[in-house]
Amino acid sequence: MFRLIKKEKHSKGSFNEGEILENKPIGFQQDGGEVKPYSNLFYWAHAWTPGKKSTIGLHPHRGFEICSFVLKGKIRHFDNKQNKWIPLNEGDVQIIRAGSGISHAEEIEAKSEIFQIWFNPDLFKSLKSEASYNDYKNENFPVESKYNFLKKTIKGKNSPINMETENIEIYEYEIQTGKIEISTNKNFTHSFFLLKGKVKINDFRMTKSDFAIINDSEKIKINSLSNSKIFEIKSPTNPSYATYF
């Protein structure tokens, strides 16, 4: 099954009177978006600062694993475990295992972009665990070079990231004009966000910031119509535990 959600259909959000803007392929229930949580993905926001830097003040989280992926520019993170501001640059990733509770703040520098994605671990376990935080540098993610694309493994084989949420894999592809194939099996769902360029995935055309969900498939064909960049999350279609949603 292939489901395409054009960027115009994403739910919207903002902070600080528009200093931070958001498109949300998977929004909160009150956001009224087209896509509800699925698999063990609960929330997915593409956030950016169109002008000056801006700060989201200290606020609490519990249970979920909250990951920020720096797509462009820089951010800074503060939480009440580290009790200091930590800088992250383009390509870096941070993970908050919110556990029994943690409060944090974020500062997004001018002209910067991030994904913030909430993963849904087994909350019966995570809510009993102490919160923890890690950041991971871009240069520590393995990169595989093929004939017409680069594949960066953010979460998967040889990646440094440790997560509680089961069976998550995360990749970023930089594809020159041409075709590639991704093998899968019917027990997994693939979620794609097109960061740059134009592609056809299984003959469905996507442009920048479009989002696609594919499951019940054994092979995914990507035809890059220009130099493109794709962010992918592979997750179990039916996790072994009850998710929040």
How many angstroms separate the Cα of 10 from the Cα of each of 27, 45, 206?
A: 8, 9, 14
DSSP code for 138: G
Residue 147 scores a pLDDT above 90: no
**Are 9-137 and 143-236 in the same CATH fold?**
yes
How large is the C-alpha radius of gyration of the chain? 17
Q: How far apart are the first and last CA of the chain?
A: 21
Please list, residue by residue across 2-31, b when 16 or more beta carbons sit within 10 angstroms of its beta carbon and e when fewer do.
eebbebeebbebebeeebbbbbbbbbbeee
Q: Is 72 exposed, middle or buried (0-12, 13-18, 19+ CB in 10 A)?
A: middle
d(CA 225, CA 177): 5
Residue 126 scores a pLDDT above 90: yes
Strands 149-155 and 204-207: unpaired
At the fourth CATH level, the homologous superfamily of domain 9-137 is: Jelly Rolls (2.60.120.10)
d(CA 85, CA 28): 27
Mean pLDDT of 185-199: 95
Q: If you average pLDDT over every residue of the chain, what do you get?
A: 94
d(CA 151, CA 102): 33
- pLDDT > 70 fraction of the chain, expressed in percent and rounded: 100
In this structure, how many other beta carbons lie within 10 angstroms of the beta carbon of residue 81? 15
pLDDT tens-place string over residues 26-41: 999 888 888 999 999 9
pLDDT the model gives residue 216: 84
Going by pLDDT thresholds of 50, 70 and 90, the confidence category of residue 59 is very high
In this structure, how many other beta carbons lie within 10 angstroms of the beta carbon of residue 188? 18
Going from N- to C-terminal start, the domains of the chain cover 9-137, 143-236
Predicted model pTM? 0.96
Give the bridge partners for 26, in sequence order: 44
d(CA 85, CA 88): 10
d(CA 114, CA 228): 18
Own/partner pairs, 34-37, CB within 8 angstroms, 24+ separation: 34/5, 34/9, 34/10, 35/5, 35/211, 35/213, 36/245, 37/120, 37/243, 37/244, 37/245
d(CA 121, CA 127): 10
Going by pLDDT thresholds of 50, 70 and 90, the confidence category of residue 184 is confident
Q: What is the CATH number of domain 143-236?
A: 2.60.120.10
